[in-house]
Amino acid sequence: MGFWMISRLKLILSNKDYRRILDNLMSLTGIQLVQYLLPLVTFPYLTRVLGPANFGRVAFAVAFIGYFQILTDYGFNLSATREISINRDDLSQVSKIYSSVMVTKTILMFLTFILMLVIISSFERFRGDPLLYIFTFGLVVGSVLFPVWFFQGIERMRYISILRILSSLIYTALIFIIVRGPKDYLYVPLVNSIGFIVVGVYSQHIVRKEFKVKFLKPKLQDIKRQLVEGWHLFISTLAISLYTTSNRFILGLLVNNTTLGYYAVAEDITRALQGLISPIGQAIYPYFSRIQAEDRERAKMELKKMVIIIGIVTFIFSILLVFAAPLIIRLLAGPLYIESIPLLQVLVFIIFAIGVNNILGIQGLVSFGYKEKFTRIVLFAGIVHLGLLIGLVLVVGSLGAAIAVVATEIFIGIIEYIILKRMGVL
């Protein structure tokens, strides 16, 4: 048995594709570990220094600006990644794709900034804190400058790892230097934005210097093509936001900042834990996109294996976290956030649901060419979730938001599985 395992390991390591996936997985896991371990240093500090109300205020701003980030990403993190992956050996084509995507994202960024200014000057909920939203918009600028989709497409995730670690280090250092009390809550998004923008600018330098990518003025038809290519993925991403980003945003419209602060703490911890799983999907997406085009039957076999492995690992992980939730809240957030414990105990099952959904949805439906079906599923689920979210929040408060998002993710996974089974993929 031991000899078989050693032989199998040698076979895997000798395979160029598997070695690249392993390298990318290790790099992305490194990103997540540092990206979420460093905030574990600042997170307890911010929850205690800002207090639940101001922590909730910042969380609401990030959720609001998250919509503009979705608009500027426009599905390019999948559509452009796929294009770069397929054409990565053709430098002129890569330069053409890169230039057209960057110009398109920049245009979208300016349009969304104008839209944000109109909203915050028109509604009372936003009018009282305009600087909070303007400072937070820096996250959108940094996201546009940092071409994650390019590094994923050429399967060089190590660069993403290094740059995101740099961003986290800048953020961590400045938080302790600048944020001293509850009134300094405005500096939290400002510091975060500075880190993102600095890293984004430096990433542009890497793309040109290390990969010899040149900026080619795109034609109007190139921009239109990118918008068409990313359309279904953009709609699906927007729909996904209805049951991810929207939870915090809609909850913030229905409850006070303190209650939102309790929910935000539980959700932030869940996202940090979820970040330990998400590198798997990011690392294997370019691989699945390629082998699906080369050997469809092999891709089906790999997909079945991944569903089983990820499903078992994430479910066990979620169960363990239910029992660990009280200790986690006390250690990371402090005694003021005891009300976050039941919220965390529900939200941890997102780790299981999203882990499986990523394999079924992105690696399954999207990689196998069923983008439209994937879009319809998440769009329908997003609409249903909004009604479920508002109804449950009005009945049981913030716990309703936690229940709604977990229920929606499980529902999506069931539908994706049924469709893949019918299409003969699973």
One digit per residue, pLDDT tens: the chain, 426 residues? 444 444 444 444 455 555 655 555 555 555 556 656 666 788 999 999 999 999 999 999 999 999 999 999 887 877 888 888 888 888 889 999 999 999 999 999 999 999 999 999 999 889 889 999 999 999 999 999 999 889 888 877 777 778 888 888 888 889 999 999 999 999 999 999 999 999 999 999 999 998 889 988 888 888 888 888 778 778 777 777 777 778 889 999 999 999 999 999 999 999 888 877 766 666 666 666 667 667 777 777 878 888 888 899 899 999 999 999 999 999 999 999 999 999 999 999 999 998 898 888 877 887 777 878 887 888 888 888 989 999 999 999 999 999 999 999 999 999 999 998 888 777
Instruction: Name the maximum alpha-carbon separation found in the chain.
Output: 69
Sign of the C-alpha dihedral, residues 387, 112, 350, 273?
Answer: negative
If asked whether residues 195 and 341 sit together in one domain, one would say no
If asked whether residues 247 and 276 sit together in one domain, one would say yes
Is residue 235 one of the residues assigned to a domain?
Answer: no
Is residue 3 one of the residues assigned to a domain?
Answer: no
If asked whether residues 223 and 369 sit together in one domain, one would say no
Q: What is the C-alpha to C-alpha distance for residues 182 and 190, in angstroms, rounded to an integer?
A: 15
Q: Which of 162, 196, 228 finishes a domain? A: 228
If asked whether residues 360 and 418 sit together in one domain, one would say yes
Nearest C-alpha neighbor of 159 from the set 200, 127, 105 = 200
Range of the domain at 88: 13-228
Are residues 49 and 182 in contact, defined by beta-carbon separation less than 8 angstroms? yes
- pTM (2 d.p.): 0.77
Q: What is residue 177's predicted lDDT score, i.e. its pLDDT? A: 92
If asked whether residues 260 and 354 sit together in one domain, one would say yes
Number of domains in the chain: 2
Length reported for the chain? 426
Is residue 294 one of the residues assigned to a domain?
Answer: yes
Token code pair at residue 369: 């060419």
Q: What is residue 29's predicted lDDT score, i.e. its pLDDT? A: 57
Q: What is the C-alpha to C-alpha distance for residues 320 and 162, in angstroms, rounded to an integer?
A: 31
Q: What is the C-alpha to C-alpha distance for residues 216 and 202, in angstroms, rounded to an integer?
A: 19
Coil, strand, or helix at residue 400?
Answer: helix
If asked whether residues 282 and 138 sit together in one domain, one would say no
If asked whether residues 426 and 361 sit together in one domain, one would say yes
Q: What is residue 230's predicted lDDT score, i.e. its pLDDT? A: 76
Q: What is residue 245's predicted lDDT score, i.e. its pLDDT? A: 75
Q: What is residue 13's predicted lDDT score, i.e. its pLDDT? A: 45
Outline where DSSP puts E strands in 23-78. none
Q: Which of 204, 228, 252 finishes a domain? A: 228
Residue ranges in 255-366 assigned as alpha helix (H): 257-274, 278-294, 296-332, 341-347, 349-358
Q: What is the C-alpha to C-alpha distance for residues 351 and 355, in angstroms, rounded to an integer?
A: 6
Residue with token string 């918009």 = 137
Is residue 421 one of the residues assigned to a domain?
Answer: yes
Is residue 382 one of the residues assigned to a domain?
Answer: yes
Is residue 57 one of the residues assigned to a domain?
Answer: yes
Q: What is the C-alpha to C-alpha distance for residues 348 and 273, in angstroms, rounded to an integer?
A: 8
If asked whether residues 291 and 333 sit together in one domain, one would say yes
Q: Which of 228, 258, 281 finishes a domain? A: 228
Nearest C-alpha neighbor of 136 from the set 80, 195, 209 = 195
Across 315-350, b (16+ Cβ under 10 Å) vs e yields bebbeebeeebeebbeebbbebbebbbbbbbbbbbb
If asked whether residues 326 and 398 sit together in one domain, one would say yes
Is residue 194 one of the residues assigned to a domain?
Answer: yes
Token code pair at residue 86: 């397929």
If asked whether residues 89 and 213 sit together in one domain, one would say yes
Q: What is residue 5's predicted lDDT score, i.e. its pLDDT? A: 44
Indicate the burial class of 232 (C-beta count within 10 angstroms; 0-12, 13-18, 19 or more): buried
Q: What is residue 6's predicted lDDT score, i.e. its pLDDT? A: 46
Q: What is residue 382's predicted lDDT score, i.e. its pLDDT? A: 83
If asked whether residues 190 and 258 sit together in one domain, one would say no
If asked whether residues 246 and 352 sit together in one domain, one would say yes
Q: What is residue 69's predicted lDDT score, i.e. its pLDDT? A: 92
Is residue 317 one of the residues assigned to a domain?
Answer: yes
Q: What is the C-alpha to C-alpha distance for residues 71 and 270, in angstroms, rounded to an integer?
A: 24
